[in-house]
Structure formats: structure tokens, C-alpha cells
Amino acid sequence: MKLRRSFSSHQLLFALGITVSCLFWATVAQAQDKIINKNNQVQEGKILSVSGSAVMVQIGSAGSIGLPLSNIKSVVMAAPPEVAAAKAAYVARDYNKALAQAKAVVDKFKGLPVDWAEQTTGMLGDIYVALEKLPEAEAAYRDFQKLYGGQGGSLQTDVGLARIALSKKDYAAAKEKLEPIVSKALEEKSPSPEAGVAYSQAFYLLGQAQEAQEDYVPALENYLRTVTLFYHDTASVSAAQEKADALRKAHQITVP
């Protein structure tokens, strides 16, 4: 039996060139963002920023154009690295670093209808509360409400205002904001990702308000709800687990 002749070096180089070319163009194609407008037409390009009421998009080599933000239903765009860096710094309680990373995203992309831009815009207020910059926090939450005013956005704003009340040790005001939210959460079987984040934070904050008033059993229960049921917000889950462990150790309590 004759064996098929092996490829020559020229043939191998040609095949390699074709493969590299295909990979290059596949990468270029993947790098394109997608803008879906309200009549479901799709525009591909590279989203550069949000400037006022327009989304600036690089279209090929022809330069950038501005697309009206009000006409855009959603976008498909990978999160910039600052999003993960802001979240990691916030969980690690390096709030100054978290603020710098979050502001880099928000200043460039706030209002863009994509989940990472919405979440980072909401987190900016949380970071200001952690830094005890309450006027800036309230302004950030109000800005978030204006930009992302749907169900999840409205919930997130109320959670943010409760966070400010908690920071001021106004536990009654915090609970007034949070209790309707957690009641609604317990009725929902499949919350949206945005609502899930708000619910996760709400249970954690309500637990803090209850613990501050020495209402330890409900506080522990709400911390555990954050960890086991409404685990959509990483920072809240981590903090709630820490609080639950400390509460059990300090007061020797359990929940059914």
C-alpha cells in the first residue's frame, strides 16, 4: 500500500496563512458590538462612548457617528475590564479603588442599555455610601433612577436610599424602604437579573437594620436569605455570610 505524499513546506505555509487569516477576520467580527434599535434593526460597529443623548460608534474606517440613545433598545457589548476591577475592589472594601474604576465606566458609558453599565452606575452610589459621601451617593442614585427607571432601576434606587438612611442610623426610614421590597421578593419566583440584584441587597440591608436594633433572629434569617435565595449580588452575599457567622457566634442563635 502506498502512503499519501506529505505536504511540501510551501503547501504547509499556504495552509497556515489561510488559517491565520481566518482567525484574524473571526476576531475582527467578534470585536464588533451590536446596537439593536427599537424597530429591531441591528447596527454593528465599535461603541466608543455615550456622549449626551447619543451613542458614539466607530463604523469601519469611516469614522465615528452618533446614534440617538432614545432610539436604542439594547446593545451587545463585552464589559470593559474596569467593571470586574470595580466589583473586586468593592468586595475587598478597597472603596477608593472601586470608585476610580466605577467612575471610569460610568463617565464613559452611563445610560447605555446593557447590564454591566446599569449595574456599575447603580454601584457608584453604594461606593459613595461606603466612603460616607452621602450627598454624592444620593445624587448618584437619583441619576441612576433617571437613566434606568424600569422595575429593576426603581427598586435599586429605593435600596440605595435605604442604604443612605442606614448609614445615618435612621433604621426606621431604612426599614420603611426595604420591607415592601423584600415582601415583593418573596412573592416572585423568577425575578429579572436587575430585580434580583436589588432583592439581594435589600435582604442584606434589612438584616443590618434589624441587627442594629437587636432583633437578631430576623436579622440572621435575612442574611441567610441573601446567601441562599437571593445571591444575585456578590458583594451582598459575601458581607451577609460574614454577618451571619458573626451573629451566630456572638449570640448562639439559629433560624428554623
Q: pTM value?
A: 0.74
**CA-to-CA distance for 138 and 173, rounded, in angstroms?**
15
Judged by average pLDDT, the poorest of 9-13, 55-59, 156-160, 224-228 is: 9-13
Name every residue whose Cβ is closer than 8 Å to that of residue 138 and which is 6 or more positions away in sequence. Answer: 125, 161, 164
| pLDDT exceeds 60 at position 256 | yes
Distance CA 135, CA 202 (A): 21
Q: Is the pLDDT of residue 11 over 60?
A: no
- pLDDT digits over 14-64, tens only? 444 444 444 333 434 446 899 999 999 998 999 999 988 899 999 877 678
Report the chain's mean pLDDT, rounded to a whole number. 86
The sign one gets for the Cα dihedral 69, 70, 74, 79 is positive
